[in-house]
Amino acid sequence: MILDIRRILGLWRGRLVWLAAGVLVSLAALAAGVGLMVFAGAALASLSLFAPLMLRGLGVARVVLRYAERMVTHAAMFRALADLRVWLFRRLTINAAGGLGFRQAGDVLSRLVNDVEALDGLYLRVLVPLAGAVFVLPLTVIVIAPRMPLLALAVAILFLLAAFLLPCAALRSAQDAGTRLTGAMGQLRIAVLDTMTGWREVRAFGAEGRMLANVQAREAALLGAQDALARRTAFAGAGAFLCAQAAVFAVLCAAGSNSTRMIVAAFLVLAAFETVGGLPRAGAYLGHAAAAARRVLEAADAPVAVPDPVSPVALPRGTRLGFDGIHFRWRPELPPVFDGLTMDIAPGARVGILGPSGSGKSTLAALALKLAAPQAGQILLGRIDIATLTAADVRSRIGWLNQSTHLFDDTIRANLLLARPDADDASLWAAVDSARIGEVVRGLPEGLDTWVGEGGARFSGGQGRRLALARALLSPMPILILDEPCAGLDAKTEREFLATLNEVGEGRTVILIAHRLVGVEALDRIYRLSGGKAVAAAG
């Protein structure tokens, strides 16, 4: 747990100035608050003629500093969490370049959102109050000890108990509850996301009740975990309250006849314990934050499916793509997808790859893009084994359009520029014209700046697929893999889309993956995948 927390804090070192500024402003506000209480006691006991004047100054200072504390500490935390979320997102994109694979989308989303958000209290609820406790303890002892040393000792012991020992005990008791809470939150998000994304199928099969019951069961588990953590937090808070009351009682017992000194000491003790009243609860919360940190780091540290070589070779000039004796299976317990597959694709060729579902068509594309690596055999790009190339170099030569290509909730222009950020308007229009969607885009009031909606909701399935094709054509990649680009389209739209494919990609290698070929005429060779091998069906 300590190592996980330290690593998270290390990721925030770029915001050290902001974080340190937040602590300093917090300490200044704390000093103003303690001073305000001390001079209030002095004014009440008539120990100082300047007490009323000091009360006014410290009162204003406390208000201003408390506001500044909120501004600076929250600004620091927001920046630190933004850095952490960007870091995690980058690690996730590296580890899941080909999709989530065997991971659940709801779980990944929970780690990226809920678990990162759970870490905000690591600074606001733990580190800042802990710095205040370290600042107040010696100050309190120094003020009380000269006249009442035994009282100072008793207050120090109770303070240590409330500020340090109780939080540690709360942390130990809340670790399991924190782990259950983060897990339950992830399971609830998985259940809700699965239900919402598959709502049409749920309605079609009348499964609303079963899916709702599943969501409610996950919600009940989450509420149970929250309740367990809340109970531990309440016990810790009660312990801190009792320590504060015991310290005040000790002041009353030690004061004797010196009522004026007793008043100042009581006010000081109340102010001191107020600063650490939340630390025992923070200890319980730290168990939740530690579990969240563990889940964040687990997601970030997931092994890369195909790591880059330690000493990559230079990217070759050639674009010949070859598969030589490929043996591959996704998991050791699963049957092999390829068993000695061999295929050679010449530069500029137009190749069709056929096969039934499960024959390995999409797996072939994943291997070519270094989203997966064969257990045996070589994949050659320009007669160089891609295992010796970086994934970025390979993907700079090979573009991919699959059946579920995503259109982002942005403009047509922004979606196209993903393929080539420096493309000008002439290039964008050339790409949409090549994909036979140019007339539709020109007919829109805002043209290329038209918002496409979530998942391309503004356009039909065929139009959305053509926009995705335009994005693929805009890319400079000399090899294009079109993986089931017509899946889900009606027969008429499929024929029109395939007719477009006959005309695009001139000068590039085009690999069309499909379960059947209807309407595609300009192919140089067709391979059929069967039994883990590729058989040339036409030449």
Indicate which CATH number applies to the domain containing 233: 1.20.1560.10
3-state secondary structure of 453: coil
Q: Output the domain CATH number for residue 400.
A: 3.40.50.300
Query: Are 277 and 404 members of one domain?
Result: no
Q: Is residue 314 part of a domain?
A: no
Query: Are 212 and 64 members of one domain?
Result: yes
State the Cα–Cα distance between residues 391 and 401, nearest whole angstrom: 17
Query: Are 389 and 263 members of one domain?
Result: no
Helix axes 51-95, 16-44, angle to 10 degrees: 160
State the Cα–Cα distance between residues 233 and 336, nearest whole angstrom: 52
Query: Are 9 and 111 members of one domain?
Result: yes
Q: Is residue 214 part of a domain?
A: yes
Q: Beta strands 509-514 and 479-483: pairing type?
A: parallel
Query: Are 154 and 242 members of one domain?
Result: yes
273 Cβ neighbours under 8 A, 6+ residues apart? 159, 162, 240, 243, 244, 247
What is the total count of domains within the chain? 2
State the Cα–Cα distance between residues 482 and 520, nearest whole angstrom: 13
pTM of the model: 0.72
Query: Are 76 and 139 members of one domain?
Result: yes
Query: Are 359 and 285 members of one domain?
Result: no
Q: Beta strands 533-538 and 509-514: pairing type?
A: unpaired
pLDDT tens, N- to C-terminus, the chain (539 residues): 778 888 888 888 889 999 999 999 999 988 888 888 877 777 776 655 666 777 788 888 888 998 999 999 999 999 999 999 888 888 887 766 555 554 566 777 778 777 888 888 788 888 888 888 888 888 888 888 877 788 888 888 988 888 888 888 877 777 777 778 887 887 888 888 778 877 878 888 888 888 889 888 988 988 888 888 788 778 878 888 888 888 888 887 776 655 666 777 788 888 888 888 778 777 777 877 888 888 888 888 877 778 888 888 888 787 889 999 999 988 888 888 898 899 988 888 888 888 887 788 888 888 888 888 899 999 998 888 999 998 888 888 888 887 777 788 889 999 999 888 888 889 899 888 888 888 888 988 888 898 888 777 788 877 888 888 888 888 888 888 888 776 666 667 667 667 766 666 667 888 888 777 665 556 788 888 888 888 887 54
CB atoms within 10 A of CB 370: 25
Closest-CA residue to 486 (of 507, 502, 509)? 502
- Which of 268, 300, 332 delimits the end of a domain? 300
**Side-chain-side CA neighbours of residue 275 (13 Å):** 33
CB atoms within 10 A of CB 312: 14
Q: What pLDDT is recorded for position 487? A: 66
State the Cα–Cα distance between residues 488 and 483, nearest whole angstrom: 13
Sign of CA dihedral 335, 340, 343, 344: positive
Query: Are 403 and 295 members of one domain?
Result: no
Q: Is residue 119 part of a domain?
A: yes
For 258, the token pair is 């010196």
CB atoms within 10 A of CB 344: 16
For 130, the token pair is 């802990």
Query: Are 289 and 357 members of one domain?
Result: no
Question: Range of 402's domain?
Answer: 321-538
Q: Is residue 474 part of a domain?
A: yes
Q: Is residue 316 part of a domain?
A: no
Query: Are 242 and 340 members of one domain?
Result: no
Query: Are 283 and 327 members of one domain?
Result: no
3-state secondary structure of 97: coil
Cα–Cα distances in angstroms (integers) from residue 447 to residues 2, 420, 441, in the given order: 54, 19, 5
Q: Is residue 236 part of a domain?
A: yes
Query: Are 357 and 500 members of one domain?
Result: yes
Q: Is residue 307 part of a domain?
A: no
Task: Report the first-to-last Cα separation within the chain, whole angstroms.
Answer: 61
Alpha helices in 256-350 (DSSP H): 259-275, 279-300
Q: Is residue 421 part of a domain?
A: yes
